[in-house]
Structure 1
């Protein structure tokens, strides 16, 4: 158990902070450091915040939403032409029930997953590196351009946030960005269909995110986060904000100072959409607690791990088609694979009933 389990993870916060990152994008260094201080406080005490001032044009957000609605309105057989199990690098359509952090409680949603676009002749793609490659864009006229435009805008905001988190940990803004050149940063287009039986079915089960952090564009309420006391706290819906949460990689890099807070989607009947961009570092990055934080805390609370292997291992344990490939011996879990939910608040409460 990490040092943070004795202090900051016990904070029983009752609200999610709101941070304006405008100065992080355009201000001078002192202004950027002031925003970074707010980012660090939220990352240490809550692991979540609502982000405004991000500069992503509302037309880009609406374009993404419109294309998601068009895609999911297609017949199931058309969507299954881009089934995620058809591709080596884990991109494409995710039908209801395919994904579940808990195998006994499949998530009742559907999704279309894409990620950082790499050409087929990229050396890592040619080497068969998991999660890296081109996107299997649907054969839906007008779909690709607005979805890719939103991805590019959100990805650039993510790079600015990565610089801010580095400042918050006492480093130059470029410190982590050296490890962000062609990351498997995934954008998910998620559709929660109308579900009259929602009392008996979950949306997304409790989990932490596996990457550095997540930038979420929601279209309705429903997101809840776990505080240090194990209580579920509602994230109010704001149509001008993106919701940001710390993921496993930043928890490890910060030696537990930053908290990967568990979250879930509340059970509701209404139809809604959600668009998380999971901001990752490069696949081959070895993530280990920063030396000065190890010195400050007296020890390293996490062993080093390869970022992409961690992401791939968690993905294998979460998707049915990959579990089946694992059972058939077609793929193997990377060395040192962690159990799903072993980091962050959820992991702490598993350890301490």
Structure 2
């Protein structure tokens, strides 16, 4: 692969049935992996059906999120993310600042793998790893934890499909998925009568390997290969999946981290992205089959967790304040937010 892949001029997201990835028959797993590969190359954004995340788990997650976000603001602030030690907890409106200084009307609750304080990586203060913050809301911890485990298991299955598609051993990526800082966000967009279908979160890419999104209402838009914005409304029993920065790097731009944005719409809606990452200290660089001189020059090796932490620390106000006070230092060579998918965006802006 001598140059960054260009997405197709799609007008809707492809649908990938991943049920074959669960098969005992290798040929069925390979066939499903090829469908996954085609969608990743041509769109970088697609619906996933045939997964095994039960409907009742998804419904329980949505219900617990509704209950939490409907609670008094003062109570929610008891769990403010700025008081956590592992970037977990409640994110009030205005806490996140995106590229260009954009803010959005939303609140969130951030979780991840719940690690104890005596875990070796937690004990040595590895960023983004540690215990969750759990609100005193009966049923919340159980519903969120069960959903996280099942959605994470789906991510592992999909990564095996990616490995098969790239001609690697099926379990190649498992070695990098032992304790990743994969975040599950519960996001609430309140009813906004003044929204008037305006732009919300600006165009960006996701930092991790890929994102597994459970949305409850429209609002997400995806850029196709012609630079056009395509609606990505919810599809029943399907997740929306998109390629992120790390998988773009591993594949040398064969899979591009797709640019997307969220429109401001009046209706109340919820969104549940699982940002599927690899282990913090994973060194990510183009795989040998993609490592032409041009690709190697374009994609410098990254430490996965450092990239995630740097992007996060430049987005959240409480972390930005710590950096400004000298309490935190960004990893050397940190990129500014929204720096991936860049060749594609540059080409499209010139069209």
Task: State the TM-score bracket (shorter-chain normalisation).
Answer: over 0.9
In structure 2, the partner of 1:114 is 111
Q: Secondary structure in 1 aligned to 2:203?
A: strand
| SS in structure 1 at match of 2:188 | strand
Across the aligned residues of Structure 1 and Structure 2, the Cα RMSD in angstroms comes to 1.8
Q: Which stretch of structure 1 is more off in the superposition, 282-291 or 194-203? A: 194-203
Q: What is the CA deviation profile of residues 56-103 of structure 1, one whole-angstrom value per residue up to 9, with x for unaligned ones? A: 111000000000001101111111111011112111100011112235
CA distance in 1, matches of 2:158, 2:169: 13
Q: Which residue of 1 aligns with 2:168?
A: 171
What is the SS of the residue equivalent to 2:31? helix
Q: CA deviation at 1:301?
A: 2.6
Could you tell me how far apart the structure 1 residues matched to 2:36 and 2:174 are? 17
Task: Determine if contact 1:3/1:301 at 8 Å carries over to the other structure.
Answer: no
Counterparts of residues 19-98 of structure 1 (less than 5 Å): 19-98=16-95
- 2:204 counterpart (182, 190, 207): 207
2:231 to 210, 234, 248: 234
Give, in whole Å, the separation in 1 of the partners of 2:329 and 2:348: 26
* Per-residue deviation, residues 17-61 of structure 1 (Å, max 9, x unmatched): 001101102341111111111111111111011000002111000
Is 1:254 equivalent to 2:259 in the alignment? no
Q: 1:278–1:205: structure 2 CA closer, same or farther, 3 Å change rule?
A: same
Alignment equivalent of 1:182, drawn from 155, 179, 185: 179
TM-score (norm 2): 0.95
Provide, for residues 278-302 of structure 1, a one-character-per-residue CA deviation record: whole Å limited to 9, x for no partner.
Answer: 1110000000000121149774530
Using the TM superposition, give the Cα deviation of residue 142 of structure 1 relative to its aligned residue in structure 2, in angstroms: 1.6
Change beyond 3 A, Cα 1:319–1:201: farther
Asked if structure 2 preserves the Cα contact closer than 8 Å seen for 1:211 and 1:281, the reply is yes
User: Alignment partner for residue 319 of structure 2, among 318, 322, 336?
Assistant: 322
Unmatched 5+ stretches in structure 1: none
- Normalised to the residue count of structure 1, the TM-score between the two structures is 0.94
Q: Which residue of 2 aligns with 1:3?
A: 3
Distance 1:265 1:27 in 2: 39
The separation in 2 between residues aligned to 1:100 and 1:65, in whole angstroms, is 25
Which runs of no fewer than 5 residues in structure 2 stay unpaired? none
Matched positions, count: 349
- Whole-angstrom distance in 2 between the partners of 1:203 and 1:295: 38
The 1-side partners of 2:13 and 2:89 are apart by: 32
